[in-house]
Structure 1
């Protein structure tokens, strides 16, 4: 049976066909009901073609009707060849006859194991018949429980438990159980295991990508956040800088614009990720724990899902900022500016996703990423303070920052070939025109930027690969927390 047919079969088996195209939902966005969520979780386990299904308190929090419907589904699964083991502490009376076998455990002792009818007969013969109109499961769970409220009750309940355990261990039911277990343990080589080939990596990747995209477009605030938050900075930048001039003071204006270009895209990406990623991370934890896919597949699907939005947001931001402020009006330099904004936007996303593997709290993840980005800008850019004037350890550390290479790209892109107008009304022209061209400024502060242009572009691409690899490793090493 193909994987898609197996999924359809389980959807029908769990009674999920009416909600097959409905989102699961969460604490904020409503989706399917609690009982349906339980059945989805069980269905995910059944995709592994498991022979034994262990369920701990599957009816907790469900109303009696939903709980009964769920147990009926589990009974049907058990009759189809899968052993279903369920732990229940407060079973409803309507569930009693739905179980094939009942096992009562108390204080580490086996008080009974057998069919529901055998349990009624055994305890009745032992002198503990179930009162009329009482729930047998509730009654006998209470009967074998040890009451520790005081010494008298503790001794009395423990004596009852020991009596029942002794009676059961010498009963025909126990002998039959022991014989069956012994027989099963000696049937070596007779078990039939089926090897179901799971979906391919491409199928997993495409399915995750499709699901992320569908869920995103169901929530308008999500794609609006991805597309337009970066553009909210455009009015402030344009109003603050206006149209760039070509005199000496315009150098400082250009440096300020470069500073905003270097810091705003990754910051915005970090805050967007903190808002959008936690729900996906929670689903990943559950499904990775179930062995459905690896961290590499999940993160690759996530980045493929996010990249188109990064492209659109970067195009909108770059186009308006670049042409409105009057940067070098050539298409090739605009493309370099756009791709740098795009790469920084992507880097901010990857770094935040990686931080969320270390910190379960989204705010802590964003704080750590913004701290690292700020340190990178201060140490590596040379825009606020020349790197050559820093302490030697900080100068060496600047080589590890992404902003060192991004700044050199921006500086080369804007100042190379730039002509600056000088005010020649004074006596000494050089006093009023320290830098007659953009090349003069680069010679003074970024002397190697032009020669290292190809290297810097390659390093920026390498940083994306490095951060992605590091993020995959962090999710692999950190593993999966306990998810309820």
Structure 2
């Protein structure tokens, strides 16, 4: 059964008309164009009965790139400004641009089609990953050259046809392999597919990638035992091929794998290529067996191409340039030695060394290879790109059709909430957090056992307990929320680049799911402490106290999210939270009640100040009598110096202030998150 084939409609206002189409009015022309496209679309599928992969690529992509250049701003350019001032302007006019920017890619040309695997090879820092990211649309600024997909430039519609597998496997450790792929399928596959079809496609993908043995095993990683490195990489590939990408880009997929796992992975990629996909992968130093699995090879040295063509023709080409290995060598090792200019065990043309211009022979070898590439290989490739027949028109039209697989906001929220809860469930119901809440509640209950307000000293003690409760849950909730976004930054960037969901959905799911812990633990804490500490035993007072604590916790959570989203660094966000918490603690209204006028504004931005005042108003009544055994007789609580700055009859306006703060913190956190992620994205 074929799964995932979707009916796509071309917006004819943005696409050129099909050849030979006639117009009997706008409606007729659009209907006829759609019919022609769908009829031609059916001709695209490739017969892959011998590949072992049953999922066909619905749209092949012919990729061409020509004279691709990429540069980054040179951070050290400013240090030479003093030197440049001493040089005449005319002499420096041409070098200012070079000093300001550093070129990473320097005119790279090539092409690859469906069914082929193009390997990008070169030493570390040569520009392989940069080229891969440029082709995948991940880098768009400061890029020159021409890159086309079926003779069409990069567009959001093309973006949906590209799968990108990064070198680091960014997968949620608490999810199993099957859960990882299921949630990806539910979020990314077309809306016209039923849930059963999406689950069936996940099952097919798991079988084709050889992940059946570990489908119910957690991803884990680090100190947690989970799936192997090869299985992680295949899971990352499955994460991308679920949505049927026409162009699959992989960055160092064999990094960290043993030779057997790497070989299995390349066999998997071969099967995907035979299914009609175009595959480009960077690779550092493959084994000879893996090397011969590649169809094409692009060898890069210092940002310049030194070879492009069939992988099987590399030795013949360099032999024609009189470069021969003097000992038996892996072809990939031989090529990397040439790309770095290290020719200790390689026979080199004598004229290169005789005519060398510099004291370093490796630089002359590299320059010689670059010149030969420019003279021999590059003209042939450019001529082939220009002289080859243009991509069929129906493929040009099909790639401009945007695959509308985005679910509604509510559907995304339901699916993402389930995944977020599963991924963080272990943190929510952590035994240490439960022991901490119970232990602190019992300790406070024993220290303030059956406390009373009969005297000024006893009243002061009980108010101290109220303030400590504010401190404890403010700090707990701030530090529980401040690390969420910094820790999940890489997951979020990856999935946002794939257009999996709206950022507002992610933020809403994160906040709502985290509230489970921020509601459960304070409630459990107060159930233990309230009656041990001798607080006022009325139903209304009990529930109002719990609601106030929860309001403080939720506001603190919003503040923590804001600090984390604003900084997006685990170390710096924790430091910022500590400093702000100290500020809130000092201005909370317990240690210093009469703050100087020029510093008084600080307490009005401290939600601990409002939370503490609200707890006092809930727990105590201004007309309540105390200190009856003193010389002056009974007094009201409002007359106590403890409540000198608190009007116990002043209503509960702090509720609205805390609610407003909780809302403002979350809005600011969302906008900070959008700004930080959009910059990364």
Same fold (TM over 0.5): yes
Distance 1:409 1:111, change over 3 A: closer
What SS is found at the alignment partner of 2:227?
coil
Question: Does the CA-based 8 Å contact 1:229-1:268 persist in structure 2?
Answer: no
Equivalent residue in structure 2 for 1:231, among 428, 434, 438: 438
Highest RCO, 1 vs 2 (Cα 8 Å, sep ≥ 6): 2
Q: Distance in 1 between matches of 2:680 and 2:228?
A: 23
1:243 pairs with 2:450 = yes
Aligned ranges for residues 41-60 of structure 1 at < 5 Å? 41-47=236-242, 49-60=244-255
* Structure 2: runs of 5 or more not aligned: 5-185, 190-197, 344-357
Question: Does the CA-based 8 Å contact 2:428-2:517 persist in structure 1?
Answer: no
In structure 1, the partner of 2:219 is 24
In the TM superposition, what is the alpha-carbon distance from 1:182 to its structure 2 partner? 4.3
In the TM superposition, what is the alpha-carbon distance from 1:300 to its structure 2 partner? 2.1
* Structure 1: runs of 5 or more not aligned: none
In structure 2, the partner of 1:262 is 470
Equivalent residue in structure 2 for 1:113, among 282, 304, 308: 308
In structure 2, the partner of 1:90 is 285
Q: Distance in 1 between matches of 2:445 and 2:385?
A: 81
In structure 2, the partner of 1:473 is 671
Distance 1:49 1:471, change over 3 A: farther
In the TM superposition, what is the alpha-carbon distance from 1:330 to its structure 2 partner? 0.7
What SS is found at the alignment partner of 1:55?
strand
In structure 2, the partner of 1:422 is 628
Q: Distance in 2 between matches of 1:421 and 1:372?
A: 37
Moved more, 296-305 or 322-331: 296-305
Q: Distance in 2 between matches of 1:206 and 1:154?
A: 58
1:458 pairs with 2:656 = yes
Name whichever structure is richer in helix by fraction: 1
What SS is found at the alignment partner of 1:471?
helix
1:371 pairs with 2:579 = yes
Q: Distance in 1 between matches of 2:415 and 2:610?
A: 37
- Aligned positions, number: 467
In the TM superposition, what is the alpha-carbon distance from 1:394 to its structure 2 partner? 2.5
Equivalent residue in structure 2 for 1:154, among 332, 344, 363: 363
TM-score, structure 1 normalization:
0.83
In the TM superposition, what is the alpha-carbon distance from 1:69 to its structure 2 partner? 1.5
Aligned ranges for residues 342-361 of structure 1 at < 5 Å? 342-361=550-569
Query: How large is the Cα RMSD of the aligned pairs?
Result: 3.4
1:39 pairs with 2:234 = yes
Q: Deviations 1:267-323 (Å, cap 9, x if unpaired)?
A: 123344568776544433433344323443223222322222222211221122211
Q: Deviations 1:400-445 (Å, cap 9, x if unpaired)?
A: 2212322222121122153325115x4xx25xx5xx2234449962
TM-score, structure 2 normalization:
0.61
1:401 pairs with 2:401 = no
1:438 pairs with 2:637 = yes
Question: Does the CA-based 8 Å contact 1:35-1:66 persist in structure 2?
Answer: yes
Q: Distance in 1 between matches of 2:269 and 2:362?
A: 37
In the TM superposition, what is the alpha-carbon distance from 1:163 to its structure 2 partner? 3.9
Q: Distance in 2 between matches of 1:137 and 1:162?
A: 21
Q: Distance in 1 between matches of 2:451 and 2:569?
A: 42
In the TM superposition, what is the alpha-carbon distance from 1:446 to its structure 2 partner? 4.4
Q: Distance in 2 between matches of 1:352 and 1:467?
A: 9
